[in-house]
Structure 1
Amino acid sequence: MNDTKIFCANNQTKNFNDSSCSTQSPYSHIDITTFMHIFPTIYGVLCSVGVIANGLVIYAVVACKKKMVSDIYVLNLAIADMLFLLVMPFNIHQLVRDRQWVFGNFMCKAVVVADVSNQFTTVGIVTVLCIDRYIAIVHPTSERRTIQWTIIINLLVWVGSILLTVPVMLYTKVEKRQCMLYLDGPEDMYWYTLYQSILGFIIPLIIISTFYSLTLYHVFSSIRRVKRKQSVWAKRATKMVLMVITLFLVCWSPYHVIQVINLSNNTPTIPFVYAYNISICLSYSHSCINPLMLLIFAQNYRERLCKRNVQHIDIGKMRIASVTFLVT
C-alpha cells in the first residue's frame, strides 16, 4: 500500500506518508502540491505501457502450445502486474482529486489490497523463480520440475500473498472522504512497517541473492570444464542475473529504506517528501519494467509474438532460453 493515507486513532496523520503517525510537518503546501501534480501523468504512462506490455507477454505465453516451466512463472508475474495496473487508475483519480475518495468503502479495500498483494505476489514469484533457476541449472535431472508442480507452487504464492494482506483488509476504510489504513497509533504503524518490509523485501532479497550467487558460482565453475563456445550461455545467464538483481534493488530498495527511516522522522523536510514520493513511483514502475525486460531480452517471446515457429528449437538453445528467463 504505497500511496494511500494512513490514519492513527490519536488523529495524527501525514498526507504524504503511509508509514508514520506523527504530527504534520512544516513544509510548503504550494511546493508539495505542485510536485504531486506531476505524478498522475507519470502513473498514467506507466499504467498504459504496463498494460500493453503485460498483455503481450500473457498472449505470448498463452498462445504457445508447448509451455516450459519458466513460462508458468512469467505468466503469473504478468497476471499479477496486470491486476495491479488495472486498479492504478483509482489511485490516479485519488491524486487528481487531492486524495478525495469517491468510490466507496468496498472499492477502497479492493484497491489497497490489490496494491499490497501485488508486492507480495511479485516478490514471492521472483523468489521461487530464483530457486527454480538454481535447480534447473545445478540439478537439471530433478524430476520435480514439472508444469503441474510449478502451477501448484504459483497457486501457493497467490494464496500466501492474499493471507499476508489480511491486516490491510481489516484496517483499510474510507475515513473523512479519504481511503486510508486506520491504525490505533504509532506503535501499530511501527510493527506494520516492519511487517511489510521484512516479509515483502528483506527475506526475499536474502533468498534471491543466495540462490543467484550459487547459480552464478556453478555457471563460472562449469566454464572451466567446457569448451569456449558454451561461454556464451554463461555470459547470457550472468547478464540477466545482474539485471534482475539491479531491477529489484532499484525499484524496491528506496521505498523500504525510506519507510524504515520515517519511523523515527517526526519532522520530515521537503527533500524527504520528494524522495518518498519518488520511491513510490519507482516501486510502481516495477510492474511496467517487468514485461518490457522480457520482451526486449527474451528472444523466445519475441519470436512467439512475431508468429515464428519455435517448436523445433534444439536442446542447446532451449537451455539458453531457460537461463535467460530470470525476469522480475
Structure 2
Amino acid sequence: MPVNDSNANQTCDVFIYKESARIIFPIFYCLVFVISVAGNSLVLFIICQKKQKMNSTTMYLINLAISDTLFTLALPGRITYYIRGFDWPFGDFLCRLTAMIFYCNTYASIAFMTCISVDRYLAMLHRQRCQRLRKSKVVRGICILVWVVVLLETSPLLLKSTLEDRTSHRTCMEFSNFDGPKMAYGLLLGCIFGFCLPLGLILGCYSQVSCKLYKAAKENPVTSKSGSNSRAKNMILLILLSFIVCFSPYHITIMQFTVRRLYNVPSCEELKTLKMFLQLHFHFGNLQEHAGE
C-alpha cells in the first residue's frame, strides 16, 4: 500500500478549468437552486392541499422534499465558492457543515427512494402480510431511523477538515481533501452500504413486481391492466432510472479510483481526469435529482 502523498498532490494543479468554472458552475447551481425551491414548494403545497390521511408513500416523499430543502440551504455557499474560483471564504466549520449537508442529502435521498420502492413492492406482493409495515406510525419510525443512520454516517465529516490551503486559494469539499488510506476505506464502505445495497434492493423490487405483472398478464390479461399495479411498477421504474442516472456515475467513479488509489499513487494527469469527471457527474447528478423530484 502506498504512503500518503497528499503533499505531492498539492503540487498538481487539478483546477485547470478554473476560469470557465467561475462562470458555468454558479449559473448551474443557481439553476439547481431555482428548480429545487420551486419543486419542493410545489410538492409540499400539493401534499398540504390533500384532505385525506397521508399514506406511506406520501410520508416518504415529504422526507425526500425535506432532504432536498437541506441541500438547497448549502447552495449559496457553493455558488460563492465557484464565483471566487474555488476559494472558500467562510471558514473551516462551515466548510465541514456544507460537506455534511451535501452528503446527507445524497444518502437521505437514496434511502427514501429505496423506502418508496420497497413500500410499493410490499403493497403489490405482500399487501395483507406486511400491512403493519405500511402504517403511519411504523413509517414515521422508519423515517426517523433513516435520518439517524444518515446523520451518523455523515457526522464524521464534522470531525475532519475538508478545507485545504493551496497556493492562491482555499479549497473546500474537493475529493483530494479526503486523502489517506483510512478515508479510502471509509469511502468504499460508504459506497457499498449507501449506494450498492440500495441499488440492489430497488432492482430486486422492480424485478419481483415485473415478474408478478408478467405472470398475471398470462393468467388474466384483463386483471393485469389494473391501474394501481401499473402505477406501482412505473413508480419503481422511475425511481430505478433516476437512481442510476443521478447516483451511479459519481459512485462508480469514486469506487474505481479509490480501489486503484490503495495500490498505486495516482499521477497528476489521473487526478486532473478524476477532478473533471467528478465535477461533471456530481453537478449533472444534482440537476437530474432535483429536476426529477
Instruction: Report the TM-score range of the alignment, normalised by the length of the smaller protein.
Output: 0.7 to 0.9
Once superposed, what is the RMSD of the aligned Cα atoms? 2.7
The match for 1:322 is: none
Q: 1:158 to 1:12 in 2, by over 3 A?
A: farther
3-state secondary structure, aligned to 2:287: helix
Note the alpha carbon deviations across 1:17-59, whole angstroms, 9 max, x for none.
xxxxxx626x783x45325631211111011111111111012
Within a 5 Å distance, the mapping from 1:190-201 to structure 2 comes to 190-201=184-195
Within a 5 Å distance, the mapping from 1:263-282 to structure 2 comes to 263=258, 264=260, 265-268=266-269, 273-282=275-284
Letter of the structure 2 residue corresponding to residue 65 of structure 1: K
The match for 1:222 is: 216
1:143 to 131, 136, 142: 131
Q: Which moved more, 1:217-226 or 1:172-181?
A: 172-181
The match for 2:113 is: 126
1:62 to 43, 48, 51: 48
Letter of the structure 2 residue corresponding to residue 163 of structure 1: L
Q: What displacement does 1:80 show? A: 0.5
Instruction: Name the CA distance, whole Å, in 2 between partners of 1:68 and 1:86.
Output: 28
Q: What displacement does 1:242 show? A: 2.6
1:42 to 28, 40, 43: 28
Give 5+ residue unaligned stretches, structure 2. 261-265
Q: What displacement does 1:244 show? A: 1.9
Q: Which moved more, 1:41-50 or 1:183-192?
A: 183-192
The match for 1:179 is: 172
Letter of the structure 1 residue corresponding to residue 36 of structure 2: G
Letter of the structure 2 residue corresponding to residue 54 of structure 1: N
Q: What displacement does 1:111 show? A: 1.3
Say whether the 8 Å CA contact 1:9–1:183 is kept in structure 2.
no
Structure number with higher helix proportion:
2
Instruction: Name the CA distance, whole Å, in 2 between partners of 1:185 and 1:279.
Output: 20
Q: 1:103 to 1:197 in 2, by over 3 A?
A: same
The match for 1:251 is: 246
The match for 2:207 is: 213
Q: Give percent identity, aligned residues only.
A: 26
Letter of the structure 1 residue corresponding to residue 161 of structure 2: T
Letter of the structure 1 residue corresponding to residue 157 of structure 2: V
Q: 1:116 to 1:13 in 2, by over 3 A?
A: farther
Say whether the 8 Å CA contact 1:124–1:204 is kept in structure 2.
yes
| Matching of residue 169 in structure 1 with residue 169 in structure 2 | no
Residue correspondences, number: 274
Q: Which moved more, 1:254-263 or 1:71-80?
A: 254-263
The match for 1:82 is: 69
Give the structure-1-normalised TM-score. 0.74
Q: What displacement does 1:108 show? A: 1.9
3-state secondary structure, aligned to 1:11: helix
3-state secondary structure, aligned to 1:37: helix
